[in-house]
Amino acid sequence: MDLSHSLLVLLSFLGFYAAQEILPEGPVDVVLGKNVTLRTLLVKPEYMFIVWTYNDGADQVHVVTLSETGLKVNAPYEGRVSVDPDTGSLFLAAAKGKDSGDYGISIISKDGGTKTAEIKLRVLEPVSDVTIKSNLAEAMEHNSTVVLSCSAKGSFLKFTWTNRTKPLIPDGKRITLKEEELSSVITITGVLRWDLQGPISCEAANKLESDSSAPFNLTVYYGPEMVAIAPPTPPQFIKAGSDFNLSCSAESSPAATFQWFHNQQLMKNSGPTLTLMKIQELGFGAEAGQFSCVASNDKTKRAVTSAAVSFAVMGAITGVNVSGPTAVLLAGNSSANLSCEADAGEVLTVTWKKDGQALTTGGRVVFAKDMRSVMIEPVQKEDNGEYTCQLSNPVSNEMASYKMVVNYGPEEPKVSGEKAVEINDKVTLTCSAPSMPPANFTWRFNGTVTDVTTATYVIDKAVYKNTGTYTCEAHNAVTGRTGQVTHSLSVKEEGSLGGLSDGAIAGIVIAVLVAVGAAIACSCTADRKYREYGGGRGLVESPY
């Protein structure tokens, strides 16, 4: 019997009951194929022998013995183990799966004392092949139960689930978790869209290694919901031919398909948009009606109807024209009928104005019941002006104008100007006579026609022979009427009208200026002679 076998028998008899302060707490883990050192807590221990043994739970096997004479390695471990003489630590190279088990150390001193301890070594399979699988290829919100399983290769694995970057934590009710040695299973009952927005990942790890699955995504179909039409409250009337349209939206996965209804009757239009052009093309909109859309999801097999919107389509008013009399209108003798029409569009409101101010009924002005025409009988001079007709409906507002000309006059002429002037004065006589069209003027002097045909008669310098009567005659070629007025003018000698004429005033001013000049000249001459003859000598000059 060799020494190693004798020591093993002795150690078997003693058992591992001595001080555990020789080794740290275990276990010690190592990845398959990697090197590992079972370190002791000793520093330069005194020993005669240090013996390491291995126990797989059934048999105890000698591994190596260190003595003063050298290292004795058991055949199965040759080339793989060594012992540090300073600490007694065991080095094991290229760990194998069968190396897992309990390793014992015995330190036998020279006096025969023995200390023993034991530590567990676990050889871990590398973490790999982390994979997520689902029981469903696609899920329906609220209706589906999703079971995700994460499997991996490795030893002593712990699994962690994440949704994007946040941990996927079970609540024990709707979301539950089941852990197994090489797998983890998460079950989501009544799955919701945000439960698996993803990507989902699973990490398998032990104390030495970790590995993660490829990102996993599972589509959760939902909807449609929040089905709505825009605009939600359209105007009561929509202008025909405008770019107005209705759009239907819904939250849905996959995207919803849409159908449109008019008064709950299916329209021949699909898609999220219903144009006004299509509404008119299908013959709808002439009367107020309700439009709604239905959103459908081919995956969830659900269909939801939107709230209805109501409106009518109305044509815009175009081609507005005001017609009036074409004959000549004479004040007091003629009547005028103005009519307002449009080429297209429904007219709901008619408004008349004259020169920008509201035209109201009463007296000579009478409107038709529909306000489309107005009768003025008889017309008077104040009816001259611009008449505007405005046709309106909820979608448009158009207007047109007519200029009415009422011929009248001339009314009684009047002459303004001087009745008496002095000789050489300027004379201006002005004749006025309201008339449409403006009157033509003729002037007579003492009954004789002059060559003046304007409203103003001018005499630059009056002479005595300009005294007499001046007659202004106003004539309206359209009405055929003529009016006249006579003005008397008297030309008198200068200064006879009790006031100075312009010529007299000028003469006085000149005379005064001459007198002042002469006085100044005399004063200057006298002063010079006084100084020449010593005038003022011996007098004290005043400082003032």
pTM of this structure:
0.62
Question: H-helix or E-strand containing 202?
Answer: strand 200-205
Percent of the chain at pLDDT > 90 equals 81
Mean pLDDT of the chain: 89
* Per-residue pLDDT at 505 exceeds 90: no
Quick: pLDDT tens for 433-455. 999 999 999 999 999 999 999 99
Q: 314: pLDDT confidence band, cut at 50, 70 and 90?
A: very high
What burial letters (b/e) apply to 433-448, b meaning 16+ CB within 10 Å?
Answer: bebbeebbbbbbbeee
Q: Are 121 and 70 in contact (CB under 8 A)?
A: no
Per DSSP, helices labelled H in 144-185 are none
Report d(CA 347, CA 324) in Å as an integer: 20
Domain spanning 321-407: which CATH class is it, in words?
mainly beta
Report d(CA 399, CA 321) in Å as an integer: 8
Radius of gyration from C-alpha coordinates of the chain = 63
Quick: pLDDT tens for 411-425. 999 999 999 999 999
For range 50-73, the mean pLDDT: 93
* Per-residue pLDDT at 14 exceeds 60: no
* Domains 128-217 and 321-407 are alike in CATH topology: yes
pLDDT at 197: 82
Q: Give me the DSSP letters along 1-31.
A: --HHHHHHHHHHHH-S-S-GGGS-SS-EEEE
- 128-217: CATH superfamily: Immunoglobulins (2.60.40.10)
Percent of the chain at pLDDT > 70 equals 88
Which residues are paired to 408 by β-bridges? 436
Q: Give me the DSSP letters along 395-443.
A: TEEEEEEEEE-EEB-----EEES-SEEETT--EEEEEE---BSPPEEEE
The CATH architecture that domain 3-124 belongs to is Sandwich (2.60)
| CB < 8 Å & 24+ apart, contacts of 68-76 | 72/3, 72/4, 74/4
pLDDT at 20: 53
- Range with lowest mean pLDDT among 154-158, 208-212, 502-506, 523-527: 523-527
Report d(CA 382, CA 374) in Å as an integer: 16
* Per-residue pLDDT at 319 exceeds 90: yes
Distances 164 to 75, 197, 217, 324, 373 between C-alpha atoms, Å: 53, 8, 10, 80, 76
Number of CB atoms found within 10 A of residue 263's CB: 14
pLDDT at 117: 95
Q: Which two tokens stand for residue 420?
A: 């008496």
* Per-residue pLDDT at 43 exceeds 50: yes
- Range with lowest mean pLDDT among 16-30, 86-100, 176-190: 16-30
One-letter amino acid at 197 equals: Q
Higher pLDDT, 59 or 401: 401
Domain boundaries, the chain: 3-124, 128-217, 227-313, 321-407, 414-492
* Per-residue pLDDT at 524 exceeds 70: no
Quick: pLDDT tens for 208-232. 999 999 999 999 999 999 999 999 9
CATH topology classification for 227-313? Immunoglobulin-like (2.60.40)
- Angle (CA) 315-318-319 rounded to 5° is 150
Q: Which residue has the tokens 């390695």?
A: 73
Q: Give me the DSSP letters along 342-386.
A: -SBS---EEEEEETTEE---BTTEEE-TTSSEEEESS--GGG-EE
Question: H-helix or E-strand containing 227?
Answer: strand 219-230
CATH topology classification for 414-492? Immunoglobulin-like (2.60.40)
Any residues with CB less than 8 A from the CB of 251 and at least 6 apart, and which? Answer: 222, 223, 224, 225, 226
- Angle (CA) 465-471-474 rounded to 5° is 150
Quick: pLDDT tens for 111-167. 888 999 999 999 999 999 999 999 999 999 999 999 999 999 999 999 999 998 899
Any residues with CB less than 8 A from the CB of 111 and at least 6 apart, and which? Answer: none
Helix (H, G, I), strand (E, B) or coil at 122: strand
pLDDT at 56: 86
* Per-residue pLDDT at 506 exceeds 50: no
pLDDT at 211: 96
* Per-residue pLDDT at 8 exceeds 70: no
- Angle (CA) 230-307-346 rounded to 5° is 65
Question: H-helix or E-strand containing 513?
Answer: helix 502-532
Q: Are 120 and 131 in contact (CB under 8 A)?
A: no
Q: Which two tokens stand for residue 65?
A: 């013995």
Residues, the chain: 544
Quick: pLDDT tens for 328-337. 999 999 999 9
One-letter amino acid at 255 equals: A
Q: 198: pLDDT confidence band, cut at 50, 70 and 90?
A: confident
Report d(CA 291, CA 238) in Å as an integer: 13
DSSP code for 95: -
Quick: pLDDT tens for 337-396. 999 999 999 999 999 999 999 999 989 999 999 999 999 999 999 999 999 999 999 999
* Per-residue pLDDT at 536 exceeds 80: no
